[in-house]
Amino acid sequence: MGGAHGHSLHFHGHSVVHRLPAHLKLVALVVYVIAVVATPAGQWWAFGLHAVVLVGVMAATRIPAGYIGRRMLIEVPFVVFALIMPFVAQGPRVQVGPFSLSEAGLLAAATLLLKGTLGVGASVVFAATTEAADIVTGLRRVGLPRQLVEIIAFMVRYLDVVTGQLIRMKVARASRGFSARSVRQWPVLGSTAGALFIRSYERGERVHLAMLSRGYSGAMPDLAPVSTSTGPWVAALVAPAVSVVIAVTALVLR
Amino acid sequence: MTPVLELKGVAHAYPDGHQALFGVDLHVHRGERVALLGPNGAGKTTLVLHLNGILTAGAGTVTVSGLPVAPENLLEIRRRVGIVFQDPDDQLFMPTVRQDVAFGPANMGVRGAELDAVVDSALARVGMSAFADRPPHHLSFGQKRRVAVATVLAMEPEILVLDEPSSNLDPASRRELADILRSLDVTLLMVTHDLPYALELCERSVLLSDGVVVGDGPTVSILGDDDLMRAHRLELPAGFDPHRV
């Protein structure tokens, strides 16, 4: 759980990046990631420039580098995968110290690491500067189907409620001397999951009753404020536009 | 004068055959604050769900300010009857407090500046204006309950129905909620087994037991009638004397 503001990834602040509307940041994130992914392997200078763009945006958020660094640990499994690639890939090999490594594997690993790190970094910046409620609104604004947005909104709202319920059930179980040490205890875990499902299902019914009681008739009203000025669009798209230019140049020079 | 709420011979059986209500008659007039008392399983919640047409009576009628609860009137009925459910986590489902309070009026077609004004006024009436942009799951239980009251007030209901308003509240939150409820200029029906709370807030009580109304009168005389109370599994806290409050 995070503090009083937003979800656990969110870092409270008032920078220009924090203030941008969520749907613009979402568009900017997607454009930036596409530009990075479209940049051809081997054009190291282009990846360097993409990184400069990202670091520039990170600096503008005024979020401490250590915070962003810790959040980027989610990338570790991909890093492990990238490190394995030079050993297992086919093709011509080069000798690096005691290891014989695949040239193609090295290139692929380096590209994967670069693209992955840039993508994760941009996503962490987005998550750290956008409240959960605004992300949901942003998804609605960029035209994600209504039903999907509503499912995500309810998930965001009830994640903590259901997690709280699960924790209370675990405490109650442990208080009666239960600990899951062997396969023989699996049925107990199964019935916990079943009970949690039933409870959540019943809560869903009660929430639906509460919605009906306030006049719900099948469509959620769109209640978030809308900004119509073009200023935020320009601010949000500066960074991804630079990256698109970098990617296009890299493609032409290839 | 047309009563705000009029129930005539309301009976209800659930699809599994269990009958919860056996002909309930009840009138609530404008400006009254009425407590609906009864032991667990008396049919209180079933009765509440009839008031805004979530459940429909197998027999009998429910009328709200002269408008019968029927499928063609449901939207207007749900505006007139505001129900605050027992668990605020069921009631607050939108990403922020402001959006949640706006949900009801928006369903009624209110938009723009008018909607903002309605939301601000509802939050001010429960003293939660400062929390408008917070997500509901970061509020304390007492704050959630107050916001739940605001979500219903925003629909400007003719009668406010509260299901166990004092449950799970600490004494301070319980008193704060009582102060807020007293300050509202609205007809109130409060379902509870918190008898001192009923006495504090409601001049009149209706006792429901086994699906029928078995008592209706001034709260102090209902609570003071030991035989009636004992017959229907209701008990005052030890040492509590309703005549000395």
Q: Does residue B69 fall inside a structural domain?
A: yes
Nearest to B75 among A137, A158, A215 (CB): A215
Scan for tokens 């007293």, then name that residue.
B182
Instruction: Check pLDDT > 70 for residue A204.
Output: yes
Asked whether the beta carbons of residue A203 and residue B90 sit closer than 8 angstroms, the reply is yes
- In chain A, what percentage of residues exceed pLDDT 70? 95
Domain ranges of chain A: 16-139+228-253, 147-213
CB B181 within 8 A of CB B201: yes
Tens-place pLDDT, residues B135-159: 888 899 999 999 999 999 999 999 9
Chain A residue numbers with beta carbons less than 8 Å from the beta carbon of B78 are: 212-215
- Name every chain B residue with its beta carbon within 8 A of the beta carbon of A210: 83, 85, 90-91, 93
Domain assignment present for B162? yes
β-strand partners of B218: B204
* pLDDT score at A115: 95
Mean pLDDT over A204-211 rounds to 93
Residue A215 has pLDDT above 50, yes or no: yes
Q: State pLDDT tens for residues A34-60.
A: 999 999 998 999 999 999 999 999 999
| Residues in A touching B151 (Cβ below 8 Å) | 214
Position A225 scores a pLDDT of 62
pLDDT at residue A178, as a whole number: 84
Is A206 in contact with B90 (Cβ distance < 8 A)?
yes
Q: Which residue range(s) make up the domain with B147?
A: 5-234
Distance from CA of B222 to the nearest CA of A (A): 31
Residue B242 lies in a domain: no
Instruction: Look at B102 and A221 and tell me if their CB atoms are within 8 Å.
Output: yes
What the block records as the tokens of B29 is 């007039």
Domain count, chain B: 1
- What integer pLDDT is reported at residue A160 of this predicted model? 84
Structure confidence at residue A214 as a pLDDT band (50, 70, 90): very high
Position A200 scores a pLDDT of: 93
What residues of B are in contact with residue A214 (Cβ under 8 Å)?
Answer: 78, 103-104, 107, 151-152, 155
Phi-psi region of B109 (alpha: psi -120 to 50; beta: other; left: phi over 0): left
- Across the interface, of A132, A214, A224, the residue whose CB is closest to B107 is A214
A207–B155 CB contact, under 8 Å: no
- Nearest-CA distance B85 → chain A (Å): 7
pLDDT band at A222 (very low <50, low <70, confident <90, very high): confident
Residue A183 confidence (pLDDT)? 84
Contacts of A215 in chain B (CB under 8 A): 75, 78-79, 104, 107-108, 155
What pLDDT, on the 0 to 100 scale, is given for residue B204? 97
Quick one: pLDDT band at residue A98, thresholds 50, 70, 90?
Answer: confident
- The pLDDT assigned to B125 comes to 95
- Give mean pLDDT, residues B108-118: 92
pLDDT of A217 reads 85
Q: What is the CATH number of the domain that holds B208?
A: 3.40.50.300
Residues A155, A157, A162, A163, CA torsion sign: positive
Residues of B in Cβ contact (< 8 Å) with A152: none
pLDDT of residue B101: 95
Q: How many CA atoms lie within 13 A of A83 on its CB side?
A: 6
* Token pair for B222: 């209902």
- Residues B170-220 have pLDDT tens digits of 999 999 999 999 999 999 999 998 999 999 999 999 999 999 999 999 999
Q: Is residue B165 very low, low, confident or very high in pLDDT (cuts 50, 70, 90)?
A: very high
Q: Which candidate from A6, A136, A213 shows the least CB-CB separation from B83?
A: A213
Stretch B115-139: mean pLDDT:
93
Within 8 A by CB and 6+ apart from B14, the residues are: B20
User: How much is the pLDDT for A228?
Assistant: 63
- SS3 assignment, position A183: helix
Per-residue model confidence (pLDDT) at position A1: 36
Long-range contacts (CB closer than 8 Å, 24 or more residues apart) made by A168-172: A169/A195, A169/A196
Q: Is the pLDDT of residue A227 over 70?
A: no
pLDDT at A4: 41
pLDDT band at A6 (very low <50, low <70, confident <90, very high): very low
Nearest to A221 among B49, B75, B106 (CB): B106
Position B121 pLDDT exceeds 60? yes
Q: Which among A107, A106, A105, A116 is positioned nearest to A51, based on CA atoms?
A: A116
What angle (nearest 5°) sits at the alpha carbon of residue B163, between those of residues B90 and B53? 80
- Provide the percentage of residues in chain A whose pLDDT is more than 90: 52
pLDDT digits (tens, 9 = 90+) for B47-102: 999 999 999 999 999 999 999 999 999 989 999 999 999 999 999 999 889 999 99
Distance between CA atoms of residues B34 and B161, nearest Å:
10
Residue B245 lies in a domain: no
The answer to whether the beta carbons of residues A140 and A222 sit under 8 Å apart is yes
> Does the residue B104 lie in any domain?
yes
First vs last Cα of chain B: how many Å apart? 32
